[in-house]
Amino acid sequence: MERTFLAIKPDGVQRKLVGEIIRRFETKGFTLVALKFMNVSRELAQAHYDVHRERPFFASLIDFITSGPVVAMVWEGDGVIASARKLIGATNPLNSEPGTIRGDFGVNTGRNIIHGSDAPETAKNEIALWFKEEELVNWAPEIKGWLY
Ligand code: RTP
Ligand code: MG
């Protein structure tokens, strides 16, 4: 079953959007595999956003993501990587559709509430970066077939 890594960024936590965001993935039908509330070290932040290391916004991105606690999660389900990106919405909240998390709650690219892995390879790498194998909980909801 496909898995993705999601993180509610410091702005999402400060704005008390944790419950609202988790509810959206639960009611969509995805299954929670791992969750932790944590401060992010600069080392972890830099590894996570390594692909953006040469970009002009890299330093402010690292400052922001380490500025307060985040909710790190792994979610599972058919097509969860692309579907989560759809539920999250476009990077710049001014371009994200109403109904998406960023479209409903954000106005600023640098404060866009939540991260979601963008492809199978990055999902695999990000899950391994943020979680130990034993922190991933293997379970299945009782009702199968129409909910994951
Ligand atoms: P994320 O990785 O955080 O889920 O966001 P994303 O895939 O939608 O966007 P990405 O291109 O990976 O960018 C990572 C984060 O860097 C900040 N950013 N600032 N032009 C800018 O000022 C700019 N572009 C990107 C955003 O906070 C974005 O979420
Ligand atoms: Mg990204």
pLDDT in tens, 55-98: 999 999 999 999 999 999 999 999 999 999 999 999 999 999 99
How are strands ordered across the β-sheet holding 3-8? 31-38, 70-76, 3-8, 114-116
Tens-place pLDDT, residues 30-54: 999 999 999 999 999 999 999 999 9
Read off the pTM.
Answer: 0.95
Task: Return the structure tokens found at 94.
Answer: 């001014």
Q: Which domain holds residue 18?
A: 2-146
Asked if residue 118 has its Cβ within 6 Å of ligand 1, the reply is yes
Are the C-beta atoms of 14 and 78 separated by less than 8 Å? no
Q: Is the CB of 92 under 6 A from ligand 1?
A: no
Binding residue ranges for ATP? 9, 57, 85, 91, 102, 112
DSSP-assigned states of every residue in 37-76 = EE---HHHHHHHTGGGTTSTTHHHHHHHHTSS-EEEEEEE
18 by DSSP, 3-state: which? helix
Catalytic amino acids?
115
Res 91: pLDDT: 97
State residue 21's pLDDT score.
98
Cα torsion through 36, 37, 41, 42, rounded to 10: 100
Mean pLDDT taken over the chain: 96
Q: What is the C-alpha to C-alpha distance for residues 82 and 94, in angstroms, rounded to an integer?
A: 20
Closest CA to 84 of 135, 129, 122: 122
Mutate to test the pocket of ligand 1, among 40, 49, 58, 91 (most ligand atoms within 8 A of CB): 91
> Which ligand places an atom closest to the C-alpha of 116?
1
Q: What is the pLDDT of residue 65?
A: 98
Report the percent of the chain where pLDDT is more than 90. Answer: 93
* 60 Cβ inside 6 Å of ligand 1: no
State the CATH number of the domain containing residue 42. 3.30.70.141
ipTM of model: 0.94
Domain count, the chain: 1
